Amino acid sequence: MVFRRLAVAGVSVAVTMGAALLAVAPTAAATSETSPPPPPPASATAAADRAADAPDIDVTKVQAHLTELNNIATRNGGTRKSSGQGYRDSVAYAKSKLQAAGYTVTEQPCTSGCASGAGPNLIAEWPQGDATKVYMFGAHLDSVGAGPGINDNGSGSAALLETALALAEQHPTMAARVRFGWWTDEEQGLNGSDFYVRSLSSAERSKIKAYYNFDMIASTNGGYFINHLTSTAAQPMKAYWDSLNLQPEENTEGAGRSDDYSFEQAGIPTSGYAMGASARKTSAQAAKWGGTASRAYDPCYHQSCDTTGNINATGLNRSVDGIAYTLWKLAVGGTAPANDFSLAAGPSAGSVDPGASATSTISTATTSGSAQTVALSASGAPAGVTVSFSPASVTSGSSSTMTVATTSGAAAGTYTLTVTGTGAVTHTTAYTLTVKGAGGCTAQQLMANGGFENGTTPWTGDTGAIGAHAGQSAHGGSRFAWLGGYGRSATESLSQSVTVPAGCSKATLTYWLHIDTDESDRVAYDTFKVKVGSTTLTTLSNTDASSGYTQRTVDLTPYIGQRITVTFAAAEDSSLQTSFVIDDAALQTG
């Protein structure tokens, strides 16, 4: 737990910690408790039934993790502070166990706001359950520089680690996702958790339905405290401790001083367990919970004596079982969500000479339910192009290397390949392949339905402008595109996308345009533009009006080897019509 300035009832209060604490190891009397009460009663609700199935976490396994954290500190100067090797070794210890258990594990470097040299956050997600509904459980993994931090906060870190391993071992049906976080640099100001929350998009934040924090849950003279005791988020945690007749109290000492505050500031509901730091136990609390009145909850708070000898095993056991109870009640059971996955190509485009090849990583991720086998295939490859995958199928969450190989005879051009992943469901992603020119060029006309005789396809935009309209006539055939002519403020456009093949030396757009107008001034009130993408290549206006059609030409040579969108666009001002009538458009390569 970190020192922090608090705001209580609108008054800023500086909390001073650690004055005149006992510097000796706690005695056995400090850990004495009443006899263990009976297990929580069964409930008629489905949620409580699921919670009743929560495992009894073996506290000796939690203590084994604490022993290893203590050993890590001993090997690294007696500390696991965030900027030291002791912290990094702690991350490696937890990470190896989580990965072996099947978690999706990420080390998140703290790239802003953390102390110089601070190690990473460690995030582990159980890859089952509804990915849009996440319950998160967290604890800071770092210690102060003065000691190994076995209660503060090896206790919370080890309890979460063993709960995570128990979840993987039980492997129950999941109704929601469970995500664990071990935070860096808490002792320097909640910096690791703050960085994590700031790194989340608003959509990702909204998926986290509650965050539960565990900081100092084995204090030798401790009490039983819950963050936001009366909140909805706290109810399962309170219900468990109530079932043990512990009569928990609000965690006022820890308010704003641990990593739940980072989530709380982002509007995410929070709760958690704590057993106290340097504040002193009252006589009423000693009568209720045992221990020594007028003595600090943790006499070794932020000191070198915060070792494995500074652990209240009874309190630790009650805390870790309450964590499991809460997790099972919130996230386990119900109808398993349908298995689903995502598919992406990176990079999503490549350019090669004929005879060469390009590669892309095809990534998958489990987005709902359990991981599944995804078979990969590709379509849309032209003659002379083959696509292969290594491996040809993956388990969602894994990736494959796609190789796109071309022969020396592959035709120059740009092609869209469709990569398909087939599992319980099917998803696709696009890959754009450009085969560079080898010096030759097949002359061809690329624009489809340029005379507008075959309906409106593939034109897009204001396709109602296409037809055999009374009042104007076609250049060829019977149909044309009439843009404008309203005599009021109006805009209209027609677009078509084409691929201009590589290997050619020239590309030319031609079209026939008739402009008639009621404007009399030699001022460009109404305009007609030819654009490629957002770039305007030609601008005409009412001042270019004349009788009959005039063929116009636009050089598109700079766009060879690209897929482009050609747009004809007209804009009229508030009065006096100008009509822009288009027919027989073509895009010729040579």
Nearest to 298 by CA among 492, 155, 88, 101: 155
What is the separation of C-alpha 20 from the centre of its chain, rounded to a whole number of angstroms?
46
3-state SS of the chain: helix, strand, coil percent to 5? 25, 35, 45
Cβ contact 565:533 at 8 Å: yes
Q: In the numeric block, which tokens belong to residue 24? A: 């000796």
Side-chain half-sphere exposure of 115, counting CA atoms within 13 A: 17
Q: Report the distance separating Cα 390 and Cα 403, nearest Å.
A: 8
What CA–CA distance (Å, rounded) separates 42 from 38?
A: 12
Contact 296, 21 (CB under 8 A): yes
Within 13 Å of residue 554, how many CA atoms lie on the same side as its CB? 24
What span, in angstroms and rounded, lies between the C-alpha atoms of 453 and 198? 56
The pair of three-digit structure tokens given for residue 45, joined into one six-digit string: 């609700």
Q: Helix H segments across 244-281?
A: 260-265
Total residue count of the chain as it appears in this document: 590
Rounded Cα distance between 208 and 136, Å, is 7
User: H or E stretch including 228?
Assistant: none
Token pair of 552 as six digits: 């116009």
If DSSP codes are grouped into helix, strand and coil, which group holds residue 236? helix
For the chain, state the CA radius of gyration.
35
CA torsion angle for 462, 466, 467, 468 (degrees, to 10)?
120
* CA proximity to 216, closest of 108, 419, 368, 66: 66
Query: What does the angle CA 96 – CA 101 – CA 104 come to, to the nearest 5 degrees?
Result: 80
| H or E element in which residue 297 lies | none
Structure tokens at 577: 């019509």
Distance CA 290, CA 34 (A): 7
DSSP per-residue string spanning 482-494: EEE--SSSEEEEE
Annotated catalytic residue, options 68, 125, 186, 572: 186
Please give the DSSP secondary-structure letter assigned to residue 281.
P
Nearest to 251 by CA among 179, 319, 162: 319
The three-class DSSP label of residue 430 is: strand
3-state SS, residue 344: strand
CB 333 within 8 A of CB 385: no
For residue 221, whether the previous peptide bond is cis, meaning omega lies within 30 degrees of 0, is no
Task: Check if 249 is active-site.
Answer: no
Give the separation between CA 25 and CA 57, rounded to whole angstroms.
27
Burial class (CB in 10 A: 0-12, 13-18, 19+), 229: middle
**Residues taking part in catalysis:** 186
